[in-house]
Structure 1
Amino acid sequence: MSPAQRRASVAAAAARTAVTLGFVALVACGPEAVPSQDAAASLAGEEIAYQRFEEYLANNVGAGEPPLGNLALSRLFDRFLDEELLIRAAVDRGAAPASASRRQAVDALVAQAASQPPNREDVHRYYVEHRESYRRPERVRLRQILVTDRQTAEKALAALESGEDFAAVSRRWSMDPAAEEGGNQGELARADLSPAFAEVVFGLAPGEFSSIVPADYGFHIFQVTARLPEQVMPEEDVADEIRDRLRRRKRDEILGSLLAEARDHYNVEIYERNLPFEYRGSYGPA
């Protein structure tokens, strides 16, 4: 091969190499993979089918509800993705197996991150700080007789005035659902009664019964069996309620913290073009 032929061969090989490298570069810099048509989002590179969100809606939106708008669907979609993030975090942290239900996975993740349950000092501190919220207004223990016509009401009142027991008269004449229990209505505050009824009832002394009180649907006769003064409920009476409240508040705090961590840790992309509604949520588009 002459020098001229050798130079031509080298040039041709170099050209072929350049073309090949250029093609490889084009492939490497080409467009990203297109998501599946049924993919609503991706979490850490794993596609989430829209069908999974439909199943979530079926389990969380009551049957017969009117069609949801874009904003409502977006908020529900965000909640769905939040749960998906928490489930992924639960599995990755070893808090729950991949086969766990949504509720089991989230509960396990919270339990793993939770500190000690509320103790006696926590309960006492909350009670002291919220003491006024446990103030109960004046109440009465009330019985009633309810009938549909005045004639029957007058018979019942006459029986009471003759000395018959109120509970017995209630069982005989009253149409109230509590008649078999002697007309017992439990403990009631003024706010639990209409203004007209409250004026009558709170004017009665313990053991006293009212005259006939007309209403749109019938006629009442009331009896107050006891008056209970305004009081602040003792701490021991509300300790269980406070403990439950503190547990729920702590759970909400832990969930908020775990979700913020998961949002930072896992990449979530929304495929808005694949959604049958206009997405207005808090996650960014793909």
Structure 2
Amino acid sequence: MRGRIVLPGVFVGLCLTLACGTDDGVLAKVGDGTVSVTAFQDHLVAVTGEAWQGATDRVASRLLDQFIDQEVVVAAAGGGDEVEVPTEPGARSARVRLLLEGICGSPPAPSDEAVEVEIGNARKAPQPARAHVRQMLLDSQEAAQAARRQLDEGADFVELSKRVSRAPNADSGGELGFLTQGGLSENLDDVIFGLQAGEISEPVRGPSGYHIFQVLEVLPAGPRPREEIAPEVRRRLFEIAAREHSAACVKQLATEVGVKVIRDRLWFRYEGRYTEDIHAS
């Protein structure tokens, strides 16, 4: 009987692919606790919705960093024996955020000066005209013309839309919200932005049938109003500050609890932030 030769590299590759014995191993040490291979593999599956073997090096590295960051916060809060943390990714993240806020406090609010600078920058970019629009969508030109005659005779646009329109938003009276000039096919765009507030179009053919549009409000092209931009700017700056605050806090906590990734337990090329051991201070 002929002997078979198994090349070490092939064997190792198969083991990493098939997880030969790795599920029982320790992937990382965080403070006095450990991260098991199984726990991280389960996290990969829960986050990506795919088999953990299929995660790319980049995705696996990013999610391992995220998982270790969370374990750092748990360790700083007292450890897994004292702090209960769910395994479902969304619930886990929410719980860790609360723990992190309890340790590091809330992120600083953006300064009024920073908000004003960003508002000024945003207003420099010209914005196309916008129109608040309702629609009806009908199958034929005859049906559209009949609906238009009813509107001329005083029918309410919303109620008529609910009765005769086959648009997906018919139940809301054809509400489309604000549309931006240049965002539709040219013929529809010309019709809508050729109307004044309160006016109703004649039937116009579109890709899905015949439309009738009602324009409720027109916002001319130009800088967006300050009162519209300000809440968005403040929210965006707060989110940036929160991310930076959290990242700095986790980095400090990692130096306090210590982190060691056991590289030879990884089945992917790790490209993350914990490539070097962090010794507890």
Q: TM-score, normalised by structure 2?
A: 0.70
Cα deviation, residue 91, structure 1? 2.6
Is 1:109 matched up with 2:100? yes
Is 1:233 matched up with 2:220? no
Cα deviation, residue 115, structure 1? 5.8
| Matched residue, 1:196 | 187
| Matched residue, 1:131 | 120
- Residue aligned with 1:209, SS: coil
Partners of 1:221 and 1:36 in 2: how far apart?
A: 62
Q: Within 5 A, what are the aligned runs for 1:9-20?
A: none
Is 1:56 matched up with 2:74? no
C-alpha distance 41-167 of structure 1, shift in aligned 2 (>3 A) = closer
Listed as ranges, the gaps of 5+ residues in structure 2 are: 1-21, 86-91
C-alpha distance 213-248 of structure 1, shift in aligned 2 (>3 A) = same
- Residue aligned with 1:273, SS: helix
Partners of 2:64 and 2:33 in 1: how far apart?
A: 17
C-alpha distance 126-190 of structure 1, shift in aligned 2 (>3 A) = same
| Matched residue, 2:14 | none
Query: Which 10-residue stretch deviates more, 191-200 or 133-142?
Result: 133-142
* TM-superposition CA deviations, 1:91-147 (whole Å, max 9, x none): 38xxx983242543443333432367538xx24640343234267643222221101
Aligned pair count? 246
Partners of 2:253 and 2:220 in 1: how far apart?
A: 52
Equivalent residue in structure 1 for 2:253, among 262, 269, 286: 262
C-alpha distance 130-223 of structure 1, shift in aligned 2 (>3 A) = same
Partners of 1:66 and 1:271 in 2: how far apart?
A: 18
Is 1:73 matched up with 2:60? yes
Partners of 2:60 and 2:276 in 1: how far apart?
A: 16
Partners of 2:150 and 2:24 in 1: how far apart?
A: 78
Cα deviation, residue 226, structure 1? 2.8
Partners of 2:134 and 2:105 in 1: how far apart?
A: 47
- Residue aligned with 2:214, SS: strand
Q: TM-score, normalised by structure 1?
A: 0.69
Is 1:99 matched up with 2:99? no
Q: Is the Cα–Cα contact under 8 Å of residues 119 and 226 in structure 2 kept in the other structure?
A: no
Paired residue type of 1:152? A
Cα deviation, residue 70, structure 1? 2.7
Partners of 2:184 and 2:52 in 1: how far apart?
A: 33
Partners of 2:136 and 2:47 in 1: how far apart?
A: 43
Equivalent residue in structure 2 for 1:160, among 138, 151, 161: 151
Greater Rg, structure 1 or structure 2? 1
Partners of 2:116 and 2:260 in 1: how far apart?
A: 45
Partners of 1:99 and 1:48 in 2: how far apart?
A: 15
Q: Within 5 A, what are the aligned runs for 1:167-178?
A: 167-178=158-169
Equivalent residue in structure 2 for 1:185, among 176, 181, 199: 176
Q: What is the alpha-carbon root mean square deviation over aligned residues?
A: 3.5
Paired residue type of 1:204? L
Listed as ranges, the gaps of 5+ residues in structure 1 are: 1-34
- Residue aligned with 1:130, SS: helix
Is 1:88 matched up with 2:99? no
Cα deviation, residue 193, structure 1? 3.2
- Residue aligned with 1:232, SS: coil
Percentage of identical aligned residues: 28
C-alpha distance 187-215 of structure 1, shift in aligned 2 (>3 A) = same
Partners of 1:260 and 1:278 in 2: how far apart?
A: 22
- Residue aligned with 1:51, SS: helix
